Amino acid sequence: MTFLARNGSGKRIAAFPMDDVGQTKRVTVMAGIGSYLKKHTESLVKDVGVERASVLTGKSKATLGRYYSDNEEHTDRFMPIDAVGLLEQSASYPHVTAALAELQNISLNFEERRGQNTRSGGINSDVIALSQRFAMLMSEYQISIEDGKITVNEAKRLLRETTMLQQVLIDMKLHLEEEAG
C-alpha cells in the first residue's frame, strides 16, 4: 500500500511498506533535497580542504567523500551535524547551514565575519565590488551556456561565483546597517 500526503511545508511525501510486518518508510517525492545537501557538503569540504577537513573531523578522506558522493550506495549517508559545525568554523562560508536555511526559506544574517578582512570604503566600495562580482558571474554564465547546456563543472563554477556574489551582498548589507546606526 502506497499513499501520498503533504508535509508541513507542502512537499509531497510518499509512504511505502518496508516489510510484511507493515512498517513504513517515509520517502520524499522531492528527491533533490539529498542531492542539494550533498553538493553543499562537497563545497564545504573543498572550501576547507580535504586534508584539513579530515584532520578537523577525525574522519578519513574516503568517509568525507562518501558524505557528498551521489553514488546510489551512499544516498542515505550525510555528514554528522557536529562535523558540519567544525568545518564551517574553518570555512570561508557556512555552505551547509546556508543550504538548510534556503530549503526552509530562511535568510541568514551574518553579524560578524570571524576575523576575516572586510573591505573598507563603505557603500561605494561595496557597489564597485558588487558590479565586479556580477560581471564575473555573467562571464561564467556566458562561457557555460555557449554550447547550449551547462555541465556539472560549469554549474559548480556558477555556484561558486553566485556564492561570492552573495558574500558581497552580505558585506553591503552589513555596511548599510552600520551606516543606518
Q: What is the pLDDT of residues 41-100, one digit of tens each?
A: 999 999 999 999 999 999 999 999 999 998 889 888 999 999 999 999 998 888 899 889
C-alpha span between 65 and 119 (Å, rounded): 34
pLDDT of res. 140: 86
Q: Which of 48, 70, 103 lies at the terminal end of a domain, its last residue?
A: 103
Cell of 131: 558590479
Indicate whether 155 pLDDT > 60: yes
Residues 37, 9 within the same domain: no
Residues 36, 84 within the same domain: yes
C-alpha span between 153 and 146 (Å, rounded): 14
Report the number of distinct structural domains present in the chain.
Answer: 3
The per-residue pLDDT for range 103-153, each reduced to its tens digit, is 888 877 655 444 454 556 678 888 888 999 898 889 889 988 988 888 888
Mean pLDDT of the 164-176 span: 87
Q: Which pTM was predicted?
A: 0.51
The domain in which residue 71 lies consists of: 32-103
